[in-house]
Amino acid sequence: MLRLRAFRPTSDKVVKIQLHPTHPWLVTADANDRVAVWNWEHRQVIYELKAGGVDERRLVGVKLDKLAEGETDSKGKPTEAIRGGSVKQVSFYDDDIRFWQHWRNCSAAAEAPTAVNQQSSAFSAPAPSTRGRHFVVICCENKAIFLDLVTMRGRDVPKQELDNKSLLCMEFLSRSSSSDAPLVAFGASDGVIRVLSMITWKLVRRYTGGHKGAISCLMTFMSAAGEVHLVSGGSDGLLVLWSADHIHDTRELVPKISLKAHDGGVVAVELSRVMGSAPQLITIGADKTLAIWDTVTFKEIRRIKPVPKLACHSVASWCHPRAPNLDILTCVKDSHIWAIEHPTYSALTRPLCELSSLVPPQALAQHKKLRVYCMVAHPLQPHLVATGTNIGIILSEFDPRALPAVAPLPAPAESKEHSAVYIVERELKLLNFQLSNTANPSLGSASETGRSRNESIDQLIVKQSKKHISTPAPHDSYSILSASSSGKYVAVVWPDIPSFAVYKASDWSVVDSGTGKLFAWDSCRDRYALVESALAPRMPLIVKGGSSKKAKEAAAAAAQAAAAAASAASAATVQVRILLDDGTAHVLQRSIDGRSEPVVGLHGGALLGVTYRTSRRISPLTATAISTVQSMPLSGFGGSASSFASDDPFSTREGPPQNFQLYSWETYQPVSGLLAQPEWTVWDQTVEYCAFAYQQYIVISSLRPQFRYLGDVSIPFATGAVWHRRQLFVATPTTIECVFVDAGVAAIDIETKKRKEEMKAREAQGRAVAEHGDLALITVEAPQVTASEKISLRPPMLQVVRLASFQHTPSIPPFIVPKQPKLNGDDSVFLKELDDRRYAEVAVAGGGVSVAVTRFPAEQKRPIGPLVLVGVRDGVLWLVDRYMCAHALSLSHPGIRCRCLAAYGDPVSAVKWATRLGREHHDDLAQFMLGMGYATEALHLPGISKRLEFDLAMQSKDLKRALACLLTMSNSRDVGQETTATDVTQILNLAVAKQAKQESLADAVQGIVKFVKEFFDLIDAADATGQAEIAREVLKRLAAAASVKGALHGQTLRGLALRLANHGELTRLSGLVTNLITAGHGREAAFAAAVLGDNALMEKAWQDTGMLAEAVLHAQAHGRPSLRSSVITWNKVLQKELDHTPTVKTDAAAAFLASLEDPKLTSLGETEKKPPIEILPPGMPPLSAPPIVIKKAAAAKSGLPNAAIGAPMNQGGTPMNQGTPMAQGTPMNQGTPMVQGAPMSQGAPVVQDAPVAQGAPTDNGAPAPAQSTDEVKPLEATTAPDNVEAPAATSNAEATATPGSTAEATEASVTDRTSSPDAAAPPAPAAGSGGIDAPAVTTGEATKDAPSTEAPQTEDKPPTTEASPSPPPSDSAV
């Protein structure tokens, strides 16, 4: 029943031990008086000290501190040099210790029916007194050592300051008054109790006259009347009661009550909280007995001998739900922890566990037998028990997931009283609880004084009562209670028997019972699944006091059904039973099976989870995980033998086994594959979310429209949870957490929404057809306006907020206290700081509304022990602890309240509540609401930042507000408002300009550049929603920023150009091109000009920014007249760069390597002087080629003088020699190849016997026409009668501008056009006689008439055209 949580071997036996309530610390003292502070969670020793003698390290440290402070050596030796002597007691002391000691005393006193204060949680917490420090206090014979674990400074109080008497025990005194300084009482060897102030370190009080011998133990407690008492036990066997209320009295105090407790002396005293009764005192003595005392009458209730012949040395009050009958733990010098069962009645003692079975085997090899010398139970986590033995420290862990036997019942909607059913000692009882505050704390969180209500449990007064139910429970062992979804039925499972029973909540009659330990409810209907054991059916339960005949008949019917089910359940399959309206359990015929492995766990919910035992060999720790008794209140319980393993839970472990499968309650078929087995599952009431808990995390999934994993939260060792819409409240052994969950929007959600809309449309159409017939299908076609609503995807959101824990938040952060030997007893300075801090936690907003300045409330105090989460009702989270006491955690802090309202689906109220939250936290709240899908509502939060406001406006499609936010953020509200185009000169000269307007313009440009992405997003959103005016406002600002040199870059400028063209802002686009050219952005300017459709502006953009290569290619591709000049300029630049390239290689090795890189000669012809490097576009002849002279004959048929056309130009633009006419049909010298370096040199002969019509493109054999849209330009160029070179060059350039043609274009332009009789072009008139009327051959005609010249023409081929006389040469071709 126990497993090992931590083990630390020691060389000596551990005789003193103490656990810290909130931190994982453990302080021990061994037989050699060595004290150690150990972090049992991380396995680290925090501090070690040799307390019995003189610790040299502390002595050296004190001397160094004195030297650092400039003090000289004192006359007397320091207190650290005093030998401590035997260690009598070790303990921690800090604010946590003080608080929980007070809480324990108050809660124990509140159990009494006659208690003054009936609320265990309704008390004023003591003010912080240790200022965030943590003390380890060691009580030695000769001195008391106070060691601060924060500053590592210590204070030794020698016994000379305490009347020079040996110190034997100690106890801390505290009152709830805020002016109390921490006091510590020491029991001395002379029977006197001396009280020391931890502020002045002086003796302040004595308790005398109680004991005749030494005092061995001290303890404080609170009586039912509210008085604080100090009880002491001495070696004389007396138990003496003192009053601890008057702790400010400096006189000597006398005892109130003295009684004989044990023969031979009292060893220890412990306070026991008894459910429904006044607290009791437990004492153990040297006479081997254990006595129980009533704190009201101080009479002995019972005396027992737990272990015969052995005296108890340790005792602890214990209350664990896994062992409801065990109240006291004690230890003797053997290897067991002994448990005493209800000492008031039966007082049976039995060994709880054998510790030797928990420790590693190698630790016991050197010893004969394990011995326990001290034991302590954790004050806040009863599942942890620490023991000090002769081999080391053993920290044992009982079942940490066992929950109290209580099941909450759903409350009526109109009732403020809530109820829960629980079992105590074979009795079913009803717990009724409600808030007794006159004002609901969830509706008003601030008092009129301006101070916020502290979000702690002492602000919520809980009124509760317990009512007896006549129906008894058949067993008093560990039980698990669960209620059905409707709350009409309550199931009780006793897994150790094993047995179960289902009760009807209306009259508490038994409707079903049987032998089984695995039980699970359906969360949607009154239906449950169970696995009955193969044992013989139990006899039907006889309801005592049940006079109802129907109840007896139902019990008999249930007994028959149970007997039938037990006989049929020998195979231990999962059965599903449904509860009918008449209260009878109907056994469904079909059972869930399909797997051969035995079932070891059931998990209820919207789907039935079944856990199978894996067939492979598994470790004991995995077997622990399979055993699901502790894991969840709705599941069954595995074998108790495998509930715990001796493995270290923090060591490397394998993952949970894949042995968990989900089934449908309706079809009994599996709906999932094998999953990792969770420890417990919890499903949302609306069947939208579910949570699977594992040891280190909780997996949260969405169920609609399909099962989808949302994420996991790192909440280790969770014991239970409850859903409240999109809020998951989780309890762990130390904390209460709240997980806010939202599934977001996934693609499957959008698809499902569309399908649902289509189904609704079909259903409506079907209804119309059924009602009106086929006439309903008649429709009239009309322009349909489809709203293109784009649903943006939203990722799932999980946010964890810690609501409560054991930690006490220090009011003042830890700091090093200066050494002040003389201080006043009044701690007024500290109290003033405390009050200032208290008032500083609240800021008053307009209208006198108190505003919380913290994002979340301070962590509230978690009630002690395992808890059952009831749920959220009346605006608070209800919990029930092991003592069946209801607690309420406040959710009224605005940071929590707003989130709860938004998660519940009420964002409007959340925004209203946000006025009580500091505006600096509104951004955080808005992000949360955005994650929950409430972007529109979050826009109404008054304190959100402009950046977040823009994001929210974009999410909620409020583009006007988004534009306003963006203009404010970028400071560009006035940009582009006065003129349509921004003055570029002023923008470029901002450094010189002194006007305030231009300075603000510079700031605006910087803001626009900073938020350029947001500006583009806003334009796109405006385009998508048809809000053109918003897009134009944004484009004004972007165009103004783009005109500044260096403001915007590449892709951004191109995107701006596209958007300007898209919105028809051609004027701004033209201005943008000019500005970009001026700013030197050639590529972007050319792109913008291309979008504008202006080729000339595009070429200007290339040329003016020095990008000549792009200018040449653009001119060639578009037939620009400036092609030749661009090429010449480009080649000059290239040649200049090549000639002036400096060399940087100077050493011999580099020169040698450079010589290897030079191109090697391939022929002797290359040794001649190379021509200048020319880079030409495809199809253009070299610039350095000699002029080609072609003599032309005059056209005979036309009789017109060949003026302009008769002097054809060579492709370099040089006029041919026209003085010598060439006879028609005479071919040119075709053996001469073209000049080296020309790109079109392909060995084709160049023959040109017929003049080419002016402006007519020649066929180049390309599939596409050689001239497209630029035919007008050569015609325009011919208007000058005295300039023939321009049209010739233009025609030449256009002939080579065909895409996809290289050298063939040039070859075709000079090929013999007389090879075909149809190829002769009509002659053109002379330039002087109206060259403007020259006919222009269209592209289609040129392509049809010109033959293909892919193959070279034959040299001796005679011409086919007629000879015509050559006209006289024209002198107009200059």
SS3 track for 452-479: ECCCCHHHCCEEEEEEEEEEECCCCCCC
From CA 972, how far away is CA 1036, in angstroms rounded?
A: 10
- Listed residue (38, 32, 39) closest to 14, CA to CA: 32
Is residue 792 within 8 Å of residue 841, measured between CB atoms? no
How sure is the predictor about 1171, in pLDDT bands with cuts at 50, 70 and 90? low
Convert the pLDDT of each residue in 480-504 to its tens digit.
999 998 889 999 999 988 899 999 9
Torsion angle of the four alpha carbons 107, 111, 112, 115, in this order, in degrees rounded to the nearest 10: 50
Convert the pLDDT of each residue in 434-484 to its tens digit.
888 654 444 443 333 333 333 333 457 888 888 888 888 888 889 999 999
Judge whether residue 422 has pLDDT over 80: yes
- For 1036, the 3-state DSSP assignment is helix
- Listed residue (841, 913, 404, 904) closest to 633, CA to CA: 404
Beta bridge partners of residue 265, listed in sequence order: none
Phi, then psi, of 504 in degrees rounded to 5:
-90, 125
Is residue 188 within 8 Å of residue 215, measured between CB atoms? yes
pLDDT score of 249: 60
Convert the pLDDT of each residue in 68-93 to its tens digit.
777 665 555 677 778 888 999 999 99
How many Å from the N-terminal Cα to the C-terminal Cα in the chain?
117
Convert the pLDDT of each residue in 731-765 to its tens digit.
999 999 999 999 888 888 788 888 888 888 888 88
The CA–CA distances, whole Å, from 169 to 86, 139, 233, 336, 735 equal 12, 7, 10, 26, 33
Is residue 1294 within 8 Å of residue 1301, measured between CB atoms? no
From CA 445, how far away is CA 850, in angstroms rounded?
A: 8
Convert the pLDDT of each residue in 1350-1365 to its tens digit.
444 444 444 443 444 4
How sure is the predictor about 1280, in pLDDT bands with cuts at 50, 70 and 90? very low
For the sheet with 427-435, list strands across it. Answer: 406-409, 418-424, 427-435, 462-472
Mean pLDDT over residues 829-850, rounded? 44
Alpha helix segments (H runs only) across 542-643: 549-568, 620-626
- For 223, the 3-state DSSP assignment is coil
β-pair type (215-222, 228-234): antiparallel
Mean pLDDT over residues 691-713, rounded? 90
Q: Which segment of 537-541, 682-686, 814-818, 1179-1183 scores lowest on mean pLDDT? A: 814-818
pLDDT score of 245: 76
Is residue 432 within 8 Å of residue 419, measured between CB atoms? yes
One-character DSSP codes across 284-307: EETTS-EEEEETTT--EEEEE-SS
> Quick one: which H or E segment has residue 1125?
helix 1123-1139
From CA 474, how far away is CA 247, in angstroms rounded?
A: 51
- Listed residue (16, 9, 158) closest to 91, CA to CA: 16
629-645: b or e for each residue (b if 16 or more CB lie within 10 Å)?
Answer: bbbbbbbbbbeeebbbb
How sure is the predictor about 586, in pLDDT bands with cuts at 50, 70 and 90? confident
pLDDT score of 732: 95
Structure tokens that stand for 506 in this block: 């209306």
Structure tokens that stand for 1158 in this block: 């030079």
Q: Which segment of 928-942, 1105-1119, 1316-1330 scores lowest on mean pLDDT? A: 1316-1330
Spatial CB neighbours of 1348, under 8 Å, sequence gap ≥ 6: 1259, 1261
Judge whether residue 1245 has pLDDT over 60: no
Q: At what angle do helices 1082-1092 and 1095-1104 cross, to 10 degrees?
A: 180
Spatial CB neighbours of 1163, under 8 Å, sequence gap ≥ 6: none
Is residue 469 within 8 Å of residue 430, measured between CB atoms? yes
Average pLDDT in the chain:
73
Mean pLDDT over residues 1096-1119, rounded? 80
Judge whether residue 1173 has pLDDT over 50: yes
From CA 16, how far away is CA 501, in angstroms rounded?
A: 46
- Residues belonging to the chain: 1374
For the sheet with 183-188, list strands across it. Answer: 167-173, 183-188, 193-197, 203-207
Phi, then psi, of 1146 in degrees rounded to 5:
-115, -30
Judge whether residue 425 has pLDDT over 80: yes
β-pair type (689-693, 698-702): antiparallel
Cα dihedral across residues 713, 717, 722, 724: positive or negative: negative
How sure is the predictor about 1027, in pLDDT bands with cuts at 50, 70 and 90? confident
Q: Where are the beta strands (DSSP E) in 821-971?
A: 842-844, 850-852, 860-861, 868-873, 876-880, 886-890
Q: Which segment of 157-171, 341-355, 1152-1166, 1223-1237 scores lowest on mean pLDDT? A: 1223-1237
Convert the pLDDT of each residue in 766-785 to its tens digit.
888 888 877 767 766 655 54
Structure tokens that stand for 881 in this block: 């602890």
Structure tokens that stand for 1218 in this block: 């026209």
Cis peptide before 857 (omega within 30 of 0): no
Judge whether residue 141 has pLDDT over 50: yes
The CA–CA distances, whole Å, from 37 to 83, 215, 248, 1199 equal 20, 26, 33, 124
Mean pLDDT over residues 986-1006, rounded? 60
Phi, then psi, of 429 in degrees rounded to 5:
-130, 160
Is residue 337 within 8 Å of residue 364, measured between CB atoms? no
pLDDT score of 976: 64
- Which residue carries 């209670």 as its tokens? 481
From CA 952, how far away is CA 1010, in angstroms rounded?
A: 19
Q: Is 1317 exposed, middle or buried (0-12, 13-18, 19+ CB in 10 A)?
A: exposed
Judge whether residue 1219 has pLDDT over 60: no
pLDDT score of 180: 62
Mean pLDDT over residues 1022-1042, rounded? 84
Judge whether residue 1295 has pLDDT over 60: no
Cα dihedral across residues 643, 647, 648, 652: positive or negative: negative
Cα dihedral across residues 1299, 1304, 1308, 1310: positive or negative: positive
- Listed residue (1267, 1250, 1280) closest to 1373, CA to CA: 1280
Q: Is 364 exposed, middle or buried (0-12, 13-18, 19+ CB in 10 A)?
A: middle
783-803: b or e for each residue (b if 16 or more CB lie within 10 Å)?
Answer: eeeeeeeeeeebebbbbebbb
Is residue 480 within 8 Å of residue 405, measured between CB atoms? yes
From CA 1060, how far away is CA 1075, in angstroms rounded?
A: 14
Is residue 852 within 8 Å of residue 840, measured between CB atoms? no
CA angle in degrees (0–180, nearest 5) for 263-269-273: 130
